[in-house]
Homo-oligomer: A and B are copies of this chain.
Amino acid sequence: MTTPVLPTEVSVVNVGLPLFADAIRDQGRPVTQVDWRIPAGGDLQLVAALARLYGPRAAAIDEANAEVARRLDQGAPKLVGIEPALGALPGVDDRTVIHSGPAIDWADMCDPLRRSVRAAAMAEGWARTPAAVDDLIARDRVHLEPANLHAAVVPMASAIGPSAPMFVVEDGASGVRAFSSMNQGPGETAWFGRETPAAVERLVFLRDVAAPLLAQCLEAAGPLDVFTLAAQGLAMGDDLHMRTQATTNLLLRTLLPHLMALDDPRRADLGRFLSANHLFFLNIAMAGAKALTLWAEQVQGSSIVTTMARNGTTYGVRLAGDDRWFVTASPPIGQALYYPGQGPESSAPDIGDSAVLELMGLGGAAAAASPAVAAFVGGSMRDAVAATESMERICAARSTRFKLPILDFRGSPLAVDVRKVVELGITPKVNTGILHAFDGSGQVGAGVAEAPIACFRAALLDLDCR
C-alpha cells in the first residue's frame, strides 16, 4: 500500500459558480474562472428549443439574421418632413390616439399614460377637462392604439392625437417610411405623464407653431440623414437615448441658417423651445430606428428582435418576420438615479417605445460612448463599457457606422438575437427616464432598465414552433 502524495502545487480551472473559484483565490492559489451558466437557466423546454435553433435550424436562421443585421446597419433613413398623424400614419382615423408600448385597454393603463392620453384629447379640442376625457373614453369616442401598429414610435408616456405633428423619416433604399412624435421638451409635459394646462399648451404649441416653422426649415434644408448625425453625436458623448444633446446641437447647427431666415415673429418662441430641449433629437433617432426595424422585420425566419416597447404596464417584443407580440409585465427600472425625495416606490414601471434604439446599436448598446450615461451605470467609463459589452454578448452584429472611441472605434452591438438572450439569460439594458407612478408630477429620475426575460423566452418558443 502506497501513501497518497498530495501535490505541492495546485492550479484550478473552475467552471460555473464563482464561489468555488473565490474560495481557492482566498487561499492564495491561482485559479481561472470560466464564466459559464447553465443555458436558459436549465429550463428543459427552452434548452430543447435552443438545441434545435442552434442546431438543425442554425444555418437558415443565421442567414436570415445576417440580412436583418444588414438592413439595420446599412439602411439610411432620412428626415424628410413633419406631417399631422392623421393622413401620414397608415390606419389612423380622426379619433385615434396612439400610445407607447403594446396594445392595452384604458382600464389597464398606468397613471402617467392615462394622463398623457387626456392631455392629447384636450389638445385635440375634444374635451376641456381630464374628467371630460374620461367620459369620452368611457363612451368609446377615443380609439386607443399602439403607435407601433402605425409605423410609429413615441417615447415615455407619449399619447398622440390625430392632429399632432409627426416627424417623417424615409429609407431611400427600401422606401420604408416611419414616424415619431415631436419631442415635447422638459418640465410640465404630457410625455412625462402630465395633464396640466401647461402640458396641453405645449402640445398645441408643437402643432401650431413649432411644426409649421420646422417643416419650413426642413424643406429648405433638404432630407437629413438621421444616422449620419447620430454617428457624429455618438463620438460626442451621446448614447442617443438618455443623452442626445450633441446630436440635437448638430441638428440645430445644421438648421441654423433656415431657422434664422424664418420670416415669422413666432420664430423667437421656437428658438426658446429648441434651445431648452436637449432631447429634441431623441424622437428623430427613434423614427430612424423604427424605419430600419420595419424594413428588417420583412425578413422571414430570423431570431432577431425588431420590436421592444413598453407602456408602463406591459412590456412587449416581436421578432423579425412575425406579427405576434410576446408580452409580460413591465419591470421597475433597476439601476436608477432619482430626483430628491423620489424613489422606486413612487416610480412607474418601464415605459416608452424608445427601446427601439437599443435594437439599433444605440442607447444601452452605445453606453460606452457616453460619459453622461456612465453616471447612471456606476460612475466610471469602465461601467459604461461593461454595459455595452453586456449587449455585445446578445447581439448578432456590430454597427459599421456607430463607432465607440473608447473601444478603439469598435462598432456598437446591433441586432439582438433572442437565442443569445435566452441562452445567457442576459436581456437588453435600456437607458430611460422614470415617471411618477401616480401623482402626475412627471419625471422623477432616470436609469437603466433590464428588459424582462419572460417575453424573450415566449418569443423563442414561438420561433421554435414556426
Q: Which residues of A contact B (CB under 8 A)?
A: 235-237, 245-246, 248-250, 252-254, 256-262, 267-268, 270-272, 274-275, 371-372, 374, 380-382, 405-406, 408-409
Residue of B235, B246, B254 touching A275 (CB-CB under 8 A): B254
The answer on a CB contact under 8 Å between B253 and A250 is no
Residue of B249, B261, B272, B406 touching A249 (CB-CB under 8 A): B249
Q: For the A-B complex with A235-B237, A237-B246 known, give 8 more contacts whose Cβ atoms are closer than 8 Å.
A: A235-B371, A236-B246, A249-B249, A252-B252, A256-B274, A257-B272, A380-B408, A381-B408
- In the complex, which residue of chain B has the Cβ closest to the Cβ of A275? B256
The answer on a CB contact under 8 Å between A257 and B246 is no
A268 to chain B: which residues have CB within 8 Å? 257, 260-261
Complex CA distance for A406 and B406, rounded to whole angstroms: 7
A372 to chain B: which residues have CB within 8 Å? 235
Give chain A's interface secondary structure class: helix
Complex CA distance for A250 and B252, rounded to whole angstroms: 10
Complex CA distance for A239 and B252, rounded to whole angstroms: 21
- In the complex, which residue of chain B has the Cβ closest to the Cβ of A384? B405
- In the complex, which residue of chain B has the Cβ closest to the Cβ of A243? B236
Q: How far is the CB of A254 from chain B (nearest CB, A)?
A: 7
Q: How far is the CB of A388 from chain B (nearest CB, A)?
A: 14
A237 to chain B: which residues have CB within 8 Å? 235-237, 246, 405
Residue of B236, B248, B271, B382 touching A261 (CB-CB under 8 A): B271
Q: How far is the CB of A407 from chain B (nearest CB, A)?
A: 9
The answer on a CB contact under 8 Å between A267 and B272 is no
Nearest 7 interchain pairs by C-beta: A260-B271, A249-B249, A371-B405, A261-B268, A257-B271, A256-B275, A236-B236
A274 to chain B: which residues have CB within 8 Å? 253, 256
Q: How far is the CB of A242 from chain B (nearest CB, A)?
A: 14
A236 to chain B: which residues have CB within 8 Å? 236-237, 245-246
A408 to chain B: which residues have CB within 8 Å? 380-382
A-B contact pairs, 28 of them (CB 8 A): A235-B237, A235-B371, A235-B372, A236-B237, A237-B246, A237-B405, A248-B253, A249-B249, A249-B252, A249-B253, A252-B253, A256-B271, A256-B275, A257-B268, A257-B275, A259-B259, A259-B260, A260-B262, A260-B267, A260-B268, A260-B270, A260-B271, A261-B268, A371-B405, A374-B405, A380-B408, A381-B405, A405-B406
Most buried by B among A272, A371, A408: A371
- In the complex, which residue of chain B has the Cβ closest to the Cβ of A232? B245
A257 to chain B: which residues have CB within 8 Å? 268, 271-272, 275
- In the complex, which residue of chain B has the Cβ closest to the Cβ of A407? B381
- In the complex, which residue of chain B has the Cβ closest to the Cβ of A273? B257
- In the complex, which residue of chain B has the Cβ closest to the Cβ of A249? B249
Complex CA distance for A3 and B260, rounded to whole angstroms: 91
Q: How far is the CB of A39 from chain B (nearest CB, A)?
A: 36
A271 to chain B: which residues have CB within 8 Å? 256-261
Q: How far is the CB of A375 from chain B (nearest CB, A)?
A: 10
Complex CA distance for A274 and B252, rounded to whole angstroms: 11
- In the complex, which residue of chain B has the Cβ closest to the Cβ of A262? B260
Residue of B275, B381, B405 touching A253 (CB-CB under 8 A): B275
- In the complex, which residue of chain B has the Cβ closest to the Cβ of A403? B371
Complex CA distance for A157 and B135, rounded to whole angstroms: 71
Most buried by B among A248, A250, A252, A257: A257
Q: How far is the CB of A240 from chain B (nearest CB, A)?
A: 13
A250 to chain B: which residues have CB within 8 Å? 249
Complex CA distance for A256 and B278, rounded to whole angstroms: 13
Complex CA distance for A245 and B38, rounded to whole angstroms: 48
A380 to chain B: which residues have CB within 8 Å? 408-409
A262 to chain B: which residues have CB within 8 Å? 260
Q: How far is the CB of A367 from chain B (nearest CB, A)?
A: 12
